[in-house]
Structure 1
Amino acid sequence: MTTLAETVQPADTSGDAGEEKTLAKNLKLFDVYAMSTGAMFSSGLFLLPGIAAAATGNSVFLAYFFAGFLIMPAMYCMAELSTAMPKAGGTYYFLDRAMGPLMGTIGGLGSWIAVVFKSAFALVGMGAYLGLYLDLPFSITAMVLAVAFGAVNIAGAKETTTLQRVLVTTLVAILVGFTLLGLKAALEKNGSLIVFDPNYGDFFRNGFVGFVSTIGLVFVSYAGLTKVASVAEEVQNPDRNIPLGMTLSLATATILYTLGTVVLIKILPGEALFGSLTPIADAGRVFMGDWPFDLGVILIVVAAIAAFASTGNAGIMSASRYPYAMAKDRLVPEKLAELGRFKTPTISILMTVAFMIAVIAIFDVASVAKLASAFQLLLFMLVCAAVMVMRESGISTYKPGFKVPLYPWMPIAGILIGFWLIIEMGTMAIAFTGMMVILCVVWYNFYASKRVDRRGAIFHVHERLGRNAYEGLEHELMTIINDRTQAQNLSYEAVIARSLVTDFRYGRYDFEQLSTLMATEGEARYDIDAETTRAVLASFEPHFRPISDGVRLTRYVDSRVKEPELFIFRFGPKARLEMALDDQDDVHTLMVLLSPDKPAGLDMRIAGHLAEIVQGEGFERRWLSAQSEAELNDVLVRDDHFLHVPVAQLPRLKAQLGKTVGELTGMGDVVVALIERGDKTMIATADNELMDGDVVALVGEPDDLMRLRRAPAHPSPEEE
């Protein structure tokens, strides 16, 4: 029997030569929340409520409330795709890999243009509020702000989101205060929050049709929620942080939008609200106007500035990732994929800022930004369709860490909602969307089509198109799985180091016997609950797939499994398998992998590494001739990641005899996996004491193992 290691933490590869081409993973849950939240609050609350109230009257707060629910299908579809494919470019990348590079071009260029227009509008709005205190034209102020936010984005995603955290924290704090004080003032003024001002007309001022139309009008207030998908590659633990961050952001926005508009219709008379372009400030003057130094109104102006600033800042960050991702795929000039000294797409950011400045100088930004909202709705529809394509493609490496609930009804609802809202936006919006699609198609046909040879997952959907399927997509998704799981999960070496290898020389064996052995030995040696092992193995029929001529592997993924466990059975020439296997007479090894369901794709990563080793040159000869546990481990674990050595030969370990494994210092990212003491072999735990004469099995990155070989007896202060 063979057993190896506990946990291996991946080595720090920040100095690797190839990393300058990879965006740094700096964004945490609060960064996701701040970016999503900041991208929503601008005109949606500080400008739009007056226009919306004029259209539907007292029911305006319900329009905002229902709009928050209508964004959920698009949000959850975006979350699923972001956890399956957390790559820069978001919508572009999802549409390209699902439907092919033509749709990717439409998604990428269209998203970039739409986000630039909306972000430019936010900066103009910020310039307007700053104009209350600065004697500068709105457009000049907006251009200066674009340059300033561009500089922050070039400095790094972490610096960008640090600013975003400050802006969003300020914004949400002030809006929460405004809402609570406003509800209190409204209750004192009206005696009730459920009695509405008759001056607003009927509850549905223009009937139910007017109410539905208003939902479409305010829906775009939530559109910024999904911008974070474009920076998914830079998010730590995307399986958790992206869907959770989006959900928390949507809850914040829906509550503040709904209760904030309740305050407006309770505090302001109808004629004052309907014509107001600064409704929050107007309401604040009513119940905070007597504060000293006009502090109440000043705080609202600060909140408005923070809202517009966070939208503009997040817009530049997300917009710049579209050309960056497209350049990596050669759909736009490859120069745009170059990273600067701060590991940010500097050229892409500069181009985005330059285009934004041109938009501010040339266009009526408010009008174009509203038209761009219709294109955003089209993208939402396509994202919902992309989820269905990826699910139905049957690609085994499509492993989202979060799945859309109520599939397929929620994606279908997202498509229908988007179609309905585009129709509601009118002829001009439809014409603008059509024009942008045509421009993207022209660019693809004249520039990109001759540079790419790639197809989307849609070619996997129907069996008759199977021969046209693009196999490169499956390999690419496997690479993404490796990237997603590497930082926070066991390495291949650690799983092999813990594996249980059984050598059968004689007898007949079926899967029931192997299951019993896995349950009993797993509990006895590794404290794996036997009943859990039996239940997992009984959950479905084993399907052993060949990973070489003589080796078969089956995988079980189950939430009851806490960490990956690998059971390996080697059969000698006089041992017989009584199982339905292809080329059964040639099979000499069965492997059973039990893996947790989180993070998604971990089982694929381990299986991929196993196949890599098993298919290597000379594996079968070395594997079948191995006679001991150490030899079996040497065959399965890559030589440069594994070290089997007496403690006496390593000065660093020899100097720490008598300490427990958990107390060892100066080990870097090397883990003590096994301890051999006399004729006894044990799994190393934190409580095992290192003794003279021990032989240890060490697992780690090659550089760390090499450093440990050469390390002096006592670690330096930096190593401590």
Structure 2
Amino acid sequence: RYPMAMARDGLLPAWMGGLGRFGTPVFGVVSTGAAIALVVLAFDAEAIAKLASAFVLLTLGLVNLAVLVLRASEIKSYAPSFRSPLYPWTQLVGIAVSGYLISRLGSAALVFVGVVTAVGWAWHHLYATPRTERAGAIRHVFRRWGREADDSLEREISAAMAGHGLRDRDDYAGLIARAVVLSIPEGADIGEAAARASTVLSDRIGVPTERVTERFLETGSLWIQPSSDHPTATPVALFEVLDVDQLVIVRASSGIRIPAAWGGSGERVNALFFLAGTTAEPGRALRLAGELAGFLHTGARACGQAATEDEVKTALLPGRTVRQYALLPEGLDAGLIGRRIGDLSLPAEAEVAAVIRFGVVLDLDSGLVLEADDQVTVVGPEEAMPAPGEPAPLS
């Protein structure tokens, strides 16, 4: 898989990342197997053990060095699930121990490490650098010392953090339930889409509309979910005043182009998912964005074809159904007014995922009393949820 991943990142020729008819990285399997066979034929068991140990120690040393650089860079998007104690001493000791153990493996191991380092450096600078736009965290360290930093790294770190999967406290269902769905007319550009999304977020988080838009541009965290029929893009911005992550979905049936200022290169998308997270937990917003991107991989078309807000949200929660209820005194769900959330008898696995009162998203707890004009969002299994237009599913 390493040759395939490197080829997709532009570090190796693109054809080396191709898949065979069974979905396997043929070149990676063949080249890796051939290299291992060559080493086994050329060296005895003791030499192979020393070379393998030297390579592992070199890798561990570089990992410790990477941690030093990333921690010193103070990149906001860098939010690992675990932070090693006694920084930076743990990493410095790890580098020193790796170097010492390599030196104890003998001259062959030292020559091997030197050759690997030289070949890797030469390959990266002579082949990879002209063909890729890779950002370096070390430049953020330089900025702290008064030198230039590369702000495009924020997007790269964001994408890496987004692939880490959700944690128990990451409320993806709640994010979708709280989301606002908008549509823009044909011919509108990303500026209008951002202005509409920023207006909604401004009302929810108490930040001026212009500042909301600026934060999305400053953060520079955006990745595009390609699709043959319904591509999407997810801009992410972080705010100090925000406690609960918010999402605004802007649909554009005729498509919107993503310019360079927003981190694109002219790609055309049919929906934008503006995700606002908190600076206190940047990793959570990025994990939620990653989860969203995973569902968009298969559900983007259904999201684009949805005729109602309920259907849009249901498309983003496979296996679940979303229903929204406006608690009007004269409506079908008037009986919910004055009741506590904890007292509602919902079907098994169904839950109140969001309550919005006068445009404000309320914190959910069992003691929250529902009031007239509240908008209540319930998420549950498809078979347990009523059809649109029917009363809330209370047993």
Query: Under a length normalisation based on structure 1, what TM-score does the superposition of the two structures give?
Result: 0.30
The separation in 2 between residues aligned to 1:424 and 1:413, in whole angstroms, is 17
Secondary structure of residue in 2 paired with 1:645? strand
The structural deviation recorded for 1:661 is 5.1
How many pairs align?
271
Contact 2:355 2:376 in 1 (8 A): yes
Aligned partners of 1:550 and 1:451: how far apart in 2? Answer: 30
- Residue matched to 1:397: 77
From the superposition, tell whether residues 416 and 698 of structure 1 become closer, same or farther in structure 2 (CA, over 3 Å): same
- 3-state SS of the aligned residue for 2:324? strand
Q: 2: distance between equivalents of 1:493 and 1:408?
A: 38
Q: Distance in 2 between matches of 1:420 and 1:711?
A: 71
Corresponding residue of 1:329: 9
Q: Which residue of 2 is the match for residue 469 of structure 1?
A: 149
Aligned pair partner of 2:40 in 355, 360, 367: 360
Instruction: Look up the SS of the partner of 1:490 in the other structure.
Output: coil
**Cα offset, 1:434, TM superposition:** 1.2
SS where residue 375 of structure 1 aligns?
helix
1:664 corresponds to: 347
Looking at structure 2, the residues matched to 446 and 550 of structure 1 have their Cα atoms a distance apart, in angstroms, of: 36
Deviation at 1:712, TM superposition (A): 10
1:409 aligned to which of 74, 83, 89: 89
The residue that corresponds to 1:674 in the other structure is 355
Q: Do residues 547 (structure 1) and 212 (structure 2) align? A: yes
- The answer as to whether partners of 1:372 and 1:433 remain within 8 angstroms in 2 is no
Q: Matches of residues 173-212 of structure 1 in structure 2 within 5 Å?
A: none
Mapped partners of 1:674, 1:411: distance in 2 = 46
Name the structure 1 match of 2:300. none
Using a 3 Å threshold, how does the CA distance of structure 1 residues 697 and 606 change in structure 2: closer, same or farther? Answer: same
Preserved CA contact (<8 Å) 1:674 1:684: yes
* Residue 689 (structure 1) shift: 12
What letter corresponds to residue 162 of structure 2 in structure 1? N
Letter in 1 for 2:284: L
Alignment of 1:122-521 (within 5 A): 320=1, 322-338=2-18, 345=25, 347-463=27-143, 468-484=148-164, 486=166, 488-491=168-171, 494=174
The whole-number CA distance in structure 2 between the counterparts of 1:489 and 1:343 is 35
SS of match in other structure, 1:471:
coil
Write the distance in 2 (CA, Å) between the matches of 1:675 and 1:548.
Answer: 23
Instruction: Quote the offset at 1:593 in angstroms.
Output: 5.6
Matched to 2:347, the amino acid is L
1:450-493 deviations in Å (ceiling 9; x for gaps): 21121310111122887743322211222333333546443467
Counterparts of 2:79 and 2:389 in 1: how far apart (Å)? 41
Please state how far the C-alpha of 1:392 moved relative to its aligned partner.
Answer: 0.9
Cα pair 1:675 1:684 within 8 Å, conserved: no
Whether the aligned pair in 2 keeps the contact of 1:675 and 1:683 (CA below 8 Å) is no
Contact 2:19–2:25 (8 Å) recurs in 1 = yes
Deviation at 1:393, TM superposition (A): 0.9
Give, in angstroms, the shift of residue 352 of structure 1: 2.2
Q: 2: distance between equivalents of 1:592 and 1:444?
A: 35
Asked if the contact 2:64–2:94 (Cα under 8 Å) also holds between the matched residues in 1, the reply is yes
Instruction: Return the letter of the residue paired with 2:55.
Output: F
Q: Are the aligned partners of 2:162 and 2:289 in contact in 1 as well (CA < 8 Å)?
A: no
Alignment-derived partner of residue 376 in structure 2: 697
Letter of the aligned partner of 1:418 in structure 2?
Answer: S
The 1-side partners of 2:121 and 2:161 are apart by 31
Amino acid at match of 1:547: V
Quick one: which amino acid aligns to residue 382 of structure 1? L
Q: What is the letter of the counterpart of residue 100 of structure 2?
A: W
The C-alpha deviation readout for 1:506-553, integer Å capped at 9, x for no partner, is: xxxxxxxxxxxxxxxxxxxxxxxxxxxxxxxxxxxxxxx943479994
In the TM superposition, what is the alpha-carbon distance from 1:324 to its structure 2 partner? Answer: 3.1
* Aligned-partner Cα distance in 2 for 1:431–1:484: 37
1:661/1:672 contact within 8 Å kept = no
List aligned pairs for 1:99-138, cutoff 5 A: none
Q: Letter of the aligned partner of 1:602 in structure 2?
A: R
Q: Which residue of 2 aligns with 1:601?
A: 283
Paired amino acid for 2:240: T
Q: 1: distance between equivalents of 2:173 and 2:110?
A: 55
Scaled by the length of structure 2, the TM-score of the pair is 0.51
Deviation of the 1:405 alpha carbon: 1.0
User: What letter matches 1:554 in structure 2?
Assistant: E
C-alpha change, 1:357 and 1:547, in structure 2 (3 Å) is same
User: Is the CA contact 1:565–1:594 (under 8 Å) kept in the aligned structure 2?
Assistant: no
Query: By how many angstroms is 1:687 displaced?
Result: 9.7
Counterpart CA distance in 1 for 2:364 and 2:141 is 47
Q: 1:447 to 1:566 in 2, by over 3 A?
A: closer
Consecutive unaligned residues in structure 2, runs of 5 or more = 180-209, 217-237, 247-275, 291-308, 314-321, 334-341
**Structure having the higher Rg:** 1
Contact 1:339 1:346 in 2 (8 A): yes
- Aligned pairs for 1:542-621 (under 5 A) are 546-548=211-213, 553-554=239-240, 565=244, 601-602=283-284
Change (3 A) 1:689 1:592: closer
**Is the 1:644–1:695 Cα contact (8 Å) retained in structure 2?**
no
Q: Distance in 2 between matches of 1:684 and 1:464?
A: 41
Deviation at 1:391, TM superposition (A): 1.0
Query: For the residues of structure 2 that align with 1:418 and 1:593, how far apart are their CA atoms?
Result: 38
Distance 2:162 2:53 in 1: 36
Q: Cα–Cα, structure 1 residues 555 and 366, in superposed 2: closer, same or farther, change >3 Å?
A: farther
Relative distance call for 1:436 and 1:604 in structure 2 (3 A) is closer
Q: Which amino acid aligns with 2:124?
A: Y
Rounded to whole Å, the distance in 1 between the matches of 2:215 and 2:141 is 32
> What is the rounded CA distance, in whole Å, between the counterparts of 1:550 and 1:332 in structure 2?
35
Deviation at 1:711, TM superposition (A): 11
Aligned residues of 2:164 and 2:287 also touching (Cα < 8 A):
no
CA contact (8 A) 1:566 1:593 kept: yes
CA shift in 2, pair 1:445/1:391, >3 Å:
closer
Distance 2:121 2:215 in 1: 50
Deviations 1:221-251 (A, max 9, x none): xxxxxxxxxxxxxxxxxxxxxxxxxxxxxxx
Q: Distance in 1 between matches of 2:147 and 2:325?
A: 51
Root-mean-square deviation over aligned CA pairs: 5.4
Which structure: greater strand fraction? 2
SS at match of 1:547: helix
- Whether the 8 Å contact between 2:137 and 2:153 is mirrored in structure 1 is yes
Deviation at 1:331, TM superposition (A): 0.5
Change (3 A) 1:682 1:461: closer
Residue 396 of structure 1 aligns to a residue whose secondary structure is coil
* SS of alignment partner, residue 673 of structure 1: strand
Question: What do residues 384-442 of structure 1 show as CA deviations (whole Å, max 9, x unaligned)?
Answer: 11111111112111112111111111111112212222222232221121122223234
